Amino acid sequence: MSHGRRPAERGGARRRSSSAVRFTTAGAALVVAAVGGLATGVFGLPQKADAAAEQGKPPAKKADVAEDINGDGYADLVSGAPGGTVSGKAKAGYVAVTYGSAEGLDTANKQLVSRSTSGVPGGATAKQGFGDSFSRGDLDGDGYADLVVGSADASAGSVILWGSAKGLTGGTAVPEYGTTPQIGDFDGDGQADLALLGDPGSSGDDPVGQPAALWKGPLTRSGTPAKKLDFLDKSEWDDENNSATSISGPSTARGVADVNGDGRQDLVFWRYEGDGVYSSDALLGSPSGFTVSAGPDGAGGDMDAGDVDGDGYDDLVVGGGSDLFDEVTVVFGTKDGLSPDRRQTFDQSLEGFPGEAPSDGEMLGSCVSVEDVTGDGRAEVALGIRWKNSGDKNDAGAVALLHGSEKGVTGEGSQVVDQDTAGVPGVAEEHDEFGAACALLDVDGDGHRDLNVSSTEENDSAGAVWSLRGTTKGVTTDKATSFGPGDLDAPVTGAQFGSSLR
């Protein structure tokens, strides 16, 4: 099996950034009744752009259903803020949806959702970390992406928020399963399914049996699946932790892809094997449950999958490898799953990789997003470098976009962007950790995915998100935008806005 350790947090006191980035003014889309945190609220209807302003603009090249909550053809961005104060409860957490438009992300057209929002089951709880993880997909088959939100406290369970032409509506509780829920068509029947992980409880060097469930779609609005499937195929069962309803834990699901090209989606997965060691694997989907396809050694940052070499199989990209968290490994997909032999490992010395010479421990791959930006049929790879120095500014952070080729990831034509790059709002400062999370989504509907990237440490850990437009060559800083929680009338203090992006 392949193994990797989760990254350690850097030690020592940090000075938090306090300078403002350039924001746009946002109108309220959720009714709030408290200063310094979301209190009671109701789902607000996203505010639509002025019709006259939209005239003459080309129609959106329709986004994937799984990325379009309100069905307008533009991908929408979901940002997690698990540190946000809600109803006076510190670190209760919330999520924010900023809807796409012909001009990109529209901060005036947004929704904020927490456990205190009317219609959402449960209540705001201190340190719950609602919004720590989430996934999107059309669970009920109505043509709108639904959002399943987990929490840092896995025992709190998850919540399904239902997409509609008016945005997110309602809320359905998923008790017990609160860790990194994932939506995908895992059995290949054309309906989105829901993979769930529960609270592993206390664990040490030895792995434990972590509750797991696989719900076959479509789901009803009451949260009833068409059928409950075995999580793991019987071939993976053992006498210890792996079964129809559990997996070796504590483990987390990181994303969804199709690495063996069989039309069934697979889970990109960190699986705990004991003694602090994780395997970075793909769990291959099937009607009888997941089977394990082994991934790379040395996982430490983030991971995602997409078709880097254009051969029809998604490839697993794992960041933060090596003892210094400086390497990225690509494991290429095949008809049998992840290749045990064809792999590519690189760092910032890759020929053509631009920017300042790297220092040790910059966390290449602190975030990973793998999608086709340029439209050439091969996926680009966005990589956060959240501990990268900018001149004499330690840990200012950066993000890189590298192209795919027949041979894998190439440095030719790649880009590195930070807050000192011309056209990027704001200015690089020590410990901003720009590149904490990233997501490639076509938020302006022009057919090219845009690079959305966060700094969770911006403005004393309030956090902020930047959006850079995609082109046939990569990304451009022309018309780059940024916003933070204050621009959405959302809780600011310690929100860690942008901890996760989808």
Rounded to two decimals, the pTM is: 0.90
3-state secondary structure at position 332:
strand
Helix (H, G, I), strand (E, B) or coil at 196: strand
Instruction: Give me the tens of pLDDT residue by residue for the chain, a chain 502 residues long.
Output: 433 333 444 443 333 333 333 333 333 333 332 333 454 344 555 655 444 444 555 677 788 999 999 999 999 999 999 999 999 999 999 999 999 999 999 999 999 999 999 999 999 999 999 999 999 999 999 999 999 999 999 999 999 999 999 999 999 999 999 999 999 999 999 999 999 999 998 777 889 999 999 999 999 999 999 999 999 999 999 988 999 999 999 999 999 999 999 999 999 999 888 887 888 999 999 999 999 999 876 556 899 999 999 999 999 999 987 676 789 999 999 999 999 999 999 999 999 998 777 778 899 999 999 999 999 999 999 999 999 988 889 999 999 999 999 999 999 999 999 999 999 999 999 999 999 999 999 999 999 999 999 999 999 999 999 999 999 999 999 999 999 999 999 999 999 999 999 9
The maximal CA–CA distance of the chain, rounded, in angstroms, is 65
Tell me how far apart the alpha carbons of residues 304 and 317 are, in angstroms, rounded to a whole number: 6
Whether residue 346 contacts residue 409, with contact meaning beta carbons closer than 8 Å, is answered with yes
CA 243/CA 232 separation, integer angstroms: 6
- Give the DSSP letter of residue 37: S
Cα 253 from Cα 203, distance rounded (Å): 18
Count Cβ atoms within 10 A of the Cβ of residue 67 and give its class: 0-12 exposed, 13-18 middle, 19 or more buried: buried
Cis peptide before 250 (omega within 30 of 0): yes
Dihedral sign of CA atoms 465, 469, 472, 476 in order? negative
50/106 Cα distance (integer angstroms): 12
Radius of gyration, alpha carbons of the chain: 21
